Chain A
Amino acid sequence: MGENLPRVPGGAQLHSDTLHGPVRTLRVKMVILGSSGVGKSSLALRFVRDEFKNPSPTVGCAYLTRVVHLSDVTLRFEIWDTAGQEKYHSVTPLYYRGAHAALVVYDISKRETFVRAQVWLKELEKQYIPGSTVMCLVGNKGDLDQERQISVQEGQALASDRSLFFTETSVLSGDQISELLLGIAHRVYECIGGQQGGLSEWKETPLIDLHHRDTFTPFASCCKVGP
């Protein structure tokens, strides 16, 4: 299995958290949703550490960060990896409220996770303010092609219906992971980053009361971007 990220095509590059460019750093809130077992935690771990290991079930929610350098800006992804279990559903809105990016993940080898993904999309749409969230449908476990229950076309069709991003990934092999993260980074920056007040700036030691509260409040109307 491929433990290393494939080289990223194009100008932008992914760097580890330790590098800091002279450019400004903006905070991006990203939430990962989907049934349990589809690979959300594995995906988050790939994003932040480019590792794959068998994780134990997520308890509640896990918070991880990953810095992505684009040509003229640095984005600090604050990733909320949720547990897909039903008992946590009542608290999940905390995490997708005000998110700049939302990934809805399903397992291409399990139809019920695809059905569940549609429920998540509906729920997100209830909260959705057009232009404030980049949404992405992710069909994971692409390596399990021979056990596939959801065709690429079917996934693609669902995404196009709702004008979402769509990609199939394999967290196990690392396929399409960095492309996904970079794609989201570009899209978030284009759609939301330019807006006044769209993305807040990240400081080394942010003042909690001034900065952190806004992560949980839904987007103010000034952040809207046309579709």
Chain B
Amino acid sequence: MKLLTFGPIALCLYVCPLRCVSLPSVAVMDGEAQRAAVSWENGTLAPVDRLRSERADSPTPGLVEGTEPGAGQKSAMFVHAQSFEDLTAETEEVAQRDAELDKSEGECTDELKVLVGEKTIEEQRNSISSETRSKEEDVSSEAWRSHRKHVFVLSEAGKPIYTRYGTEEALSSTMGVMMALVSFVEAEKNIIRSIHADGCKVVFLTKSPLVLVGVSRTCQSDKELLRELQYIYYQIVSLLTLTQLNHIFQHKQNYDLRRLLAGSEYLTDNLLHRLDRDPGLLLSAVTCLPLASSSRDVVSSSLQAAKAKNLVFSILLAGDRLVTLVRKKDQFLHHIDLHLVFNLVGSSSSFREGEGWTPICLPKFNTAGFFHAHISYLEPASELCLILVSTDREDFFNMSDCKQRFLERLSKRSAYQALKEALKCPSYSVAQVGIPELRHFLYKSKSSGLYTSPEFPAVYQSDEEQERLMGLYQDLHSCLHHPTRPLRSFYRCGETENLLAWVTSGFELYLCFSPLATKALAVSAVNKLLKWIRKEEDRLFILSPLTY
């Protein structure tokens, strides 16, 4: 069998009956982690389960959702109710329901007609994909096999759609085998979930009409790997819409989807890179550009004033950081959709020349239709990128005008200068917190869906070290979000650092200490850090999000 190339296989096949949701057996946590895990249930930091009506100045860990540092004062910006769990749960029905309500459906089917009519025009595939990507890697080589994480996307007919490494052509028989496995298990009214082999996990995600397969040598849990596959799935949907995907495969089961994805593979490549490095994707949250709240409020209200009939979201970014987001009343943006927007903007310099106008599906909002995004930088060499999302594909000039009005209004205010100043220091040093042993942390406010984190300290300067630290955070995250035995807190001593993770109903916190730090110190550091974040929350979070 071809799949054997991933390592000695088939130690155990985790399959589960169609109607059953939980895994029959789980073997995730490694021994060392279990030994190091400490429960705090009876410790001094035990969460207090009562609702606070006021925002405390010196927050205690007992804060519940809505009162933790960073929680928005009015209403949240995101759909985040379940955050991480949201990702792995089936929310498609909701999206479908939204789709029916949405009037842009007519437009979508309109676009479909054109697409199907066009299928015959150019049967031979444009060869740009294999040209522009340096993927000419020998798929039978040891180097190819030893990549830490492979991702494959195939159609239900077993046709290759995407591979992270190597070319799809070279892997068509491997992907055929993967599909055979999926079908074989399905024939028995089961679903294949994962294969655990020696040092290697194979995870399957069936999202008709696509099948996604992850092959990982990392110690990430199945659930974490599935989360990453979900992101890849949404990335593809955001380019094409689910309606269009279904339509295509209903008409032609063995359609070669690479034709439609040609020239966009780099988006998936970049998203996979981000998944390894970006804490926001791990935490299901986004981070903000530190900015005095008075300035941020002026920027937000300028954006709010530049509204238009079909404008749904106005998003101002500074690199990968959110400056502000204004949304239509009652319309929420999901953090996944926002990350897809970040990925789109961050992956292409094409928006630097002139104004971009592109259809984009925000799959967590509506998998059926396209929005149309006006994407441009405020000034030629600026990091500030404005994204205006409209429902009308003929809205370009209206959006362009909104941008102009926003810019005119903003440039008259001193807040614009303050914003430009803030761009010079988009991050902060952990030293500001004043806990000498603390090296780094991630803090997510659950109710706002925003997180904050200092820049990496000197000990984590190299890419490898940063990815290693991210890997450690991912491990902790897995333990806190374990499907059957989630932990509330977790302290782990290592040779190179000590880690502490803690989740309450209000926040999620991951701390990295020097290996010399003690557990007692870590515990007291939490309180100190929370106080510091409370003190700085005006600057680090968006406390008063606006709607049009």
Q: How far is the CB of B403 from chain A (nearest CB, A)?
A: 11
Question: Is B122's CB within 8 Å of the partner chain A?
Answer: yes
Interchain CB contact under 8 A, A89 and B264: no
Residue A208 interfacial (CB < 8 Å): yes
A60 to B355, alpha carbons, bound, how many Å? 11
Contact A83–B355 (Cβ < 8 Å):
no
Contact of A90 among B115, B131, B373, B401 (CB under 8 A): B115
A86: chain B residues within 8 A (beta carbon)? 118, 122, 126, 259-260, 262
- Distance in angstroms from A62 CB to nearest chain B CB is 5
Query: Please, what's the 1-or-0 string for B92-133, where 1 marks a CB less than 8 Å from any CB in chain A?
Result: 000000000000000000011011001001101011100110
Name the distance in Å between B334's Cβ and chain A's nearest Cβ.
21
CB <8 Å contact, A63 and B355: yes
Q: Is A112 a contact of B353 with CB atoms below 8 Å?
A: no
Q: A60-B359, A63-B396 are in contact. Are A87 and B354 (CB under 8 A)?
A: no
Q: B240: which A residues are within 8 A, CB to CB?
A: 87
Give A54's nearest chain B residue, CB to CB: B349
Report A-chain residues with C-beta under 8 Å of the C-beta of B360: 60
Would B115 and A41 count as touching, CB distance under 8 A? Answer: no
By a CB distance below 8 angstroms, the chain B residues around A157 are: none
Chain A: minimal CB distance from B128 (Å) = 5
Q: Is A197 an interface residue (CB 8 A)?
A: no
Q: Are B356 and A208 in contact (CB under 8 A)?
A: no
With A36-B263, A87-B261 already in contact, the answer to whether A56 and B356 are too (CB < 8 A) is no
A-B interface pairs (CB < 8 A), number: 115
- Are A60 and B126 neighbours in the complex by a CB distance under 8 Å? no
Residue B491, interface by CB 8 Å: no
**Is the CB–CB distance between A112 and B124 below 8 Å?**
yes
Assess whether A59 is in contact with B122, with CB atoms less than 8 Å apart.
no
In the assembly, what is the distance between CA of A79 and CA of B59, in Å?
Answer: 55
Which residue on chain B has the smallest CB distance to residue A85? Answer: B263
Which residues of chain B are near A81, meaning CB under 8 Å?
354
| Per-residue contact bits, chain A 62-105, to B (CB 8 Å; 1 contact, 0 not) | 11110000000000000101011111111101100000000000
Alpha-carbon separation in the docked complex, A58 to B355 (Å)? 11
A155 CA / B31 CA spacing, docked (Å)? 70
Which of B126, B259, B264: most chain A CB closer than 10 A? Answer: B126
A57 in contact (CB, < 8 A) = yes
Chain B residues within 8 Å of A57, by CB: 132, 263-264, 266, 348, 350
User: Which B residues between 126 and 165 are near A, CB-CB below 8 angstroms?
Assistant: 126-128, 131-132
Nearest B residue (CB) for A216: B394
**CB atoms of A62 and B264 under 8 A apart:** no
Query: Contact between A89 and B118 (Cβ–Cβ < 8 Å)?
Result: yes
- With a 10 A CB-CB cut-off, give which of A35, A44, A57 has the most chain B CB atoms: A57
Answer whether residue B190 sits at the interface, using C-beta atoms and an 8 A cutoff. no
Provide the A93-135 mask, 1 if CB < 8 A to any CB of B, else 0.
Answer: 1100000000000000000100010010000000000000000
Task: Using known A-B contacts A86-B122, A212-B397, determine if residue A62 contacts B356 with beta carbons closer than 8 Å.
Answer: yes
Annotate A196-218 by CB proximity to B: 1 below 8 A, 0 otherwise: 00000000000010001101100
Query: In the complex, which residue of chain A has the Cβ closest to the Cβ of B373?
Result: A60
* Other-chain residue from A63, A87, A112 in contact with B357 (beta carbon distance below 8 A): A63
A55 at the binding interface (Cβ < 8 Å): yes
Q: Is the CB of B353 within 8 A of A61?
A: no
A48 proximal to B (CB < 8 A):
yes
Chain A residues 170-199 with CB under 8 Å of chain B are: none
B393 within 8 A of A: yes
Taking the nearest CB of chain B, how far is it from the CB of A105, in angstroms? 15
> Whole-angstrom distance between the alpha carbons of A94 and B114 in the complex?
13
Is the CB–CB distance between B354 and A48 below 8 Å?
yes
Is B356 a contact partner of A212 (Cβ separation < 8 A)?
Answer: no
Chain B residues whose CB sits within 8 angstroms of the CB of A84 once the complex forms: 126, 263
Is A119 in contact with B122, judged by CB distance below 8 angstroms?
yes
- Contact B260 A87, beta carbon cutoff 8 Å: yes
Q: Which residue of A lies closest to B375 (CB)?
A: A59
Q: B262 touching A85 by the CB < 8 A rule?
A: yes
Cβ of A45 under 8 Å from chain B: yes
Q: Mark B67-109, 1 if CB is under 8 A from A, else 0.
A: 0000000000000000000000000000000000000000000
Give the B interface residue count (CB, 8 A).
45
- Interface 0/1 of B337-358, CB less than 8 Å to A: 0000000100111110111111
Give the contacting residue for A89; candidates B115, B347, B375; CB below 8 A: B115
Determine if B239 is an interface residue (Cβ-Cβ < 8 Å). yes
Smallest beta-carbon distance B368→chain A, Å: 15
Does B174 count as interface, using CB distance less than 8 angstroms?
no
Complex: how many Å from CA A156 to CA B341? 43
- On chain A, the residues within 8 Å of B111 by CB distance are 90-91
Interchain nearest-CB distance for B400 vs A (Å): 7
Cross-interface CB contact of A41 among B262, B353, B398, B400, cutoff 8 Å: B353
How close is A77's CB to chain B, nearest CB, in angstroms?
12
What chain B residues lie within 8 Å of A208 (beta carbons)? 397-398, 401
B264 x A63 contact (CB < 8 A):
no
Q: Chain B 500-514, CB within 8 Å of chain A: the 1/0 string?
A: 000000000000000
In the complex, what distance in Å separates the CA atom of A139 from the CA atom of B350? 22
Report yes or no: B355 in contact with A56, Cβ–Cβ below 8 A. no
| A48, B380: Cα distance in complex, Å | 13
Query: Shortest Cβ distance from A200 into chain B, in angstroms?
Result: 12
A59 touches B393 (CB 8 A): no
Given contacts A86-B122, A212-B397, whether A61 and B358 have CB atoms under 8 Å apart is yes
The verdict on A56 contacting B359 (CB below 8 Å), with A87-B239, A90-B111, A216-B394 known, is no
- Chain A residues, Cβ within 8 Å of B131: 37
With beta carbons under 8 angstroms apart, the residue of B127, B128, B356 that contacts A60 is B356
Give Cα A116 to B398, complex, Å: 33
Tell me how far the C-beta of A217 lies from the nearest C-beta in chain B, rounded to whole angstroms.
10
* A85 CB contact (under 8 Å) in B127, B264, B354, B393: B264
Q: Are B401 and A62 in contact (CB under 8 A)?
A: no
The smallest C-beta distance from B442 to any residue of chain A, in angstroms, reads 30
When distances are taken between beta carbons in the complex, the residues of chain A under 8 Å from B375 are 59
CB distance from B146 to the nearest CB of A (A): 30
A66 nearest CB neighbor, chain B only = B354
CB distance from B125 to the nearest CB of A (A): 9
Q: CA of A90 to CA of B240 in the docked complex: distance in angstroms?
A: 11
B394 and A94 form a contact (CB under 8 A):
yes
A87 to B397 alpha-carbon distance, docked (Å): 23
Chain A hits for B122, CB < 8 A: 86, 116, 119
Report Cα–Cα, A38/B118, bound state, in Å.
21
The 8 closest A-B pairs by CB, nearest first: A60-B358, A64-B354, A212-B397, A90-B111, A90-B114, A85-B263, A87-B260, A63-B355
Measured CB to CB, the residues of B under 8 A from A are: 111-112, 114-115, 118, 121-122, 124, 126-128, 131-132, 239-240, 259-264, 266, 344, 347-351, 353-360, 373, 375, 393-394, 396-398, 400-401
Q: List 27 A-B residue pairs with CB atoms under 8 Å apart, sorted by A's residue number.
A: A37-B131, A44-B354, A45-B353, A55-B349, A55-B353, A57-B264, A58-B350, A59-B351, A59-B356, A60-B359, A61-B356, A61-B357, A62-B356, A63-B354, A79-B354, A85-B263, A85-B264, A86-B126, A87-B264, A88-B358, A89-B114, A89-B115, A91-B393, A112-B127, A208-B398, A212-B397, A215-B397
